[in-house]
Chains A and B, each alone.
Chain A
Amino acid sequence: MLTIVRIHNELLGTYGDRGNADVLAFRAHLNGIAAEVVDISYLEILPKSADIYLMGGAEDAAQALSLTALEKGGALASAISQGATLLAICAGFQIVGESFTDGQGQEISGLGLLNVRTSPGEKRFVGDIKVKASFLDCEFTGFENHGGRTLLGEGVQPFGHVLVGHGNGAESVDGAISGNVFGTYLHGPVLARNPEFADFLLAKTTGQSTINYVDELAVEYAHWRRSVTK
């Protein structure tokens, strides 16, 4: 059984990213993989034994709160070191970095799972985004809505190279990847817009080399968004 943990959706659910968990479970089922989505709220203890962890976008205060809960116990770091996969979007991506700036302008330390640092930018990036993925031969589309500027440190590679939109707001890249940890600014939700990415995560997590099922509607949807995002 593939366990997908949706972390703090009541805090990290402002921009529809809860759908990533639903899409993953849905595509797992289509491929004959049993999967369940477990919601873990701010008040609950994060399990260490899940396979995939998902974090979404949030407002400033919610982002800070989520971090305070995740700092306790180190469950997320422990799960990742044991091979679990993490996908963190927008505010979630910032939380798992080395540091980011909160709503009051204070720089705070993140979880340190990705060597990236985020500071506030002058202009907020709002609109459609398209990136060339760095780990798959594929273009991903999504929607970005954030004011952060994220700089990559040593040991991480970009999630993608920006074709349309802004992403990290530096070096024409979006997001960051290190090992099993994926961070990006793409909402949409990103796994709904880009089924190849969902399947990539499923394959990586389950150890299956190929994901066979072709969901025509997903293909049509992804293709259409790619063709109109320019």
Chain B
Amino acid sequence: MPNRGLKRAVLIALLSAWASKTFAKKSGETISGRVLLFLRPGAISELSQGRRVLLVSGTNGKTSTTRFLVRIIEQLGAVTTSPSGSNLSWGVAGSLLKRASFAVLEVDELHLANVITQTQPEVVLLLNLTRDQLHRMHEVKRVADRWREIAERSPNTTFVVDIDDPFVNYATQNAAKVLRISFGGRSHPDGAVCPNCGGYIKWSSGLYECSCGLSNKSYEKLLVAANAPERNSILANIAGSLIGAPWLEVSPSELERTINIKSGGVTATIRLTKNPASWTEALTGINSHQVILILNAREVDGIDTSWLYDVDFQILQGRKVVVTGERALDMQYRLHVQGIESIAVENFTTAITQFSSGEHVQVLSAYTAFFELSR
């Protein structure tokens, strides 16, 4: 670190993290990044120099895929990352405080352009882009346009992309170095309009081919994956292989973001769910008769709950469903309209008591509630 100003900023940031951990019992990651960027706005760029940087972005699966990519890259050397899913600029800044020759960072969709500019990554892995937190993203196309602009301006970065998502495909159409991967197609909740030409896309068993040329048939690699976690594990391995990491096998369950809690003899498996695509995916995994749904609508959850009607909850029909969270009533009424009755309770602790000892409950939880439960 040749620069004294940067060195001082890093020391103060580390000190603030230590104080936050010691006195406030917090993780210290956010505060250190915030302090660092306050004292040294160019710190992300400065701290990225001399490192090999890989970024991961997308609507769903960022955190688990980043975690797995870290394991892959660790085969080559020391890696710094932000383990808590803190993916805005200060999270990135906080992760770069650690010395390591590799940085594998999860980046929020709207922060990606800035972070690419500042870190000059070797590889950017783009997983998917669907509607999420529309109060903040506004429109899916708007996010894709930002990605496309930065991809065009990043000639030294290789983009590893899943082109079964037309928005991801569109975003990297003009990038200098792209590795386009298809898993043989899948549906997309926002894919009726071509992001490139605005035309109507006719889909056929997960395949799309617009008259303007945007298509998921124009892949460099065609691979097979059963579900999103498996897909993301393959994409992470491909990203890793680009910088020389050996292929690492992982069980897809490792890539699901779940935590287990035991309370009064009831075991609960809690899975993070946060937007129509991730709820739809998570609901396909419901096989227990006992289910708890937790809905919040804070900033990172998305403050508008209208999207609940874009999710088909039919699989919950006939199961015992308990709903909780700050927006439990939104969920309860939405289920009611689909003919699914549920019990609404104050909080998760009360929700658990609705079940008997020995029972296993599957819990689908909004983002903010998931973090509170994982503490």
Contacts and interface: CB of A to CB of B under 8 A. Distances in A.
Q: Do the two chains bind?
A: yes
B99 interface: no
A163 to B, nearest CB: 18
A22 interface: yes
A22 B338 CA distance: 8
Interface in A1-50: 10-11, 13-19, 22-23, 26, 42-43
B6 interface: no
Interface stretch (B30-38, B286-294, B306-314, B355-363): B306-314
Given A22-B337, A22-B338, A221-B330, A15 B193 contact: no
A77 interface: no
A122 interface: no
A143 B193 contact: no
Interface residues of B, number: 32
Contact of B134 (A15, A26, A217, A218): A15
Contacts of A17: 306, 309
A61 B309 contact: no
B217 interface: no
A216 B332 CA distance: 12
Contacts of A143: 135, 303-306
Interface in B191-211: 192-195, 198-200, 202
A64 to B, nearest CB: 7
Contacts of B198: 61, 64-65, 103
Contacts of A187: 304, 306
B337 A26 contact: yes
B200 A43 contact: yes
B336 interface: yes
Nearest to A142: B306
B200 A65 contact: yes
B193 A61 contact: yes
A203 to B, nearest CB: 19
Interface in B89-147: 131, 134-135, 138-141
Interface residues of A, number: 36
Contacts of B266: none
B334 interface: yes
B74 interface: no
A126 B135 contact: yes
Contact of A145 (B135, B202, B309): B135
A19 B336 CA distance: 12
A13 B329 CA distance: 22
A87 B146 CA distance: 33
- Chain A binding site: helix, strand, loop or mixed by DSSP? mixed
A175 interface: no
B192 A10 contact: yes
B141 A192 contact: no
A19 B309 contact: yes
A212 to B, nearest CB: 18
A17 B309 CA distance: 7
B190 interface: yes
Nearest to A104: B198
Given A14-B139, A145-B134, A62 B193 contact: yes
A43 B307 CA distance: 24
Contacts of B195: 61
Contacts of A221: 329-330, 332-333
A14 B303 contact: no
A151 B1 CA distance: 59
Interface in A55-75: 59-62, 64-65
B131 A127 contact: no
Nearest to A59: B139
Interface in B327-354: 329-330, 332-334, 336-338
Given A19-B337, A22-B338, A60 B141 contact: yes
Contacts of B140: 14, 59
Nearest to B131: A14
B310 A13 contact: yes
Contacts of B192: 10-11, 42, 62
A220 interface: yes
Interface of A: 10-11, 13-19, 22-23, 26, 42-43, 59-62, 64-65, 103, 124, 126-128, 143, 145, 187-189, 192, 217-218, 220-221, 224
9 contacts: A14-B134, A22-B337, A59-B139, A124-B138, A126-B135, A192-B337, A217-B332, A220-B329, A221-B333
Interface of B: 131, 134-135, 138-141, 190, 192-195, 198-200, 202, 303-310, 329-330, 332-334, 336-338
7 tightest A-B CB contacts, nearest first: A19-B309, A16-B306, A61-B198, A10-B192, A143-B304, A221-B333, A59-B139
Given A60-B141, A220-B329, 15 more contacts: A11-B193, A15-B134, A15-B304, A16-B310, A19-B306, A19-B308, A22-B309, A59-B140, A62-B192, A65-B193, A143-B305, A189-B306, A192-B309, A192-B334, A217-B333
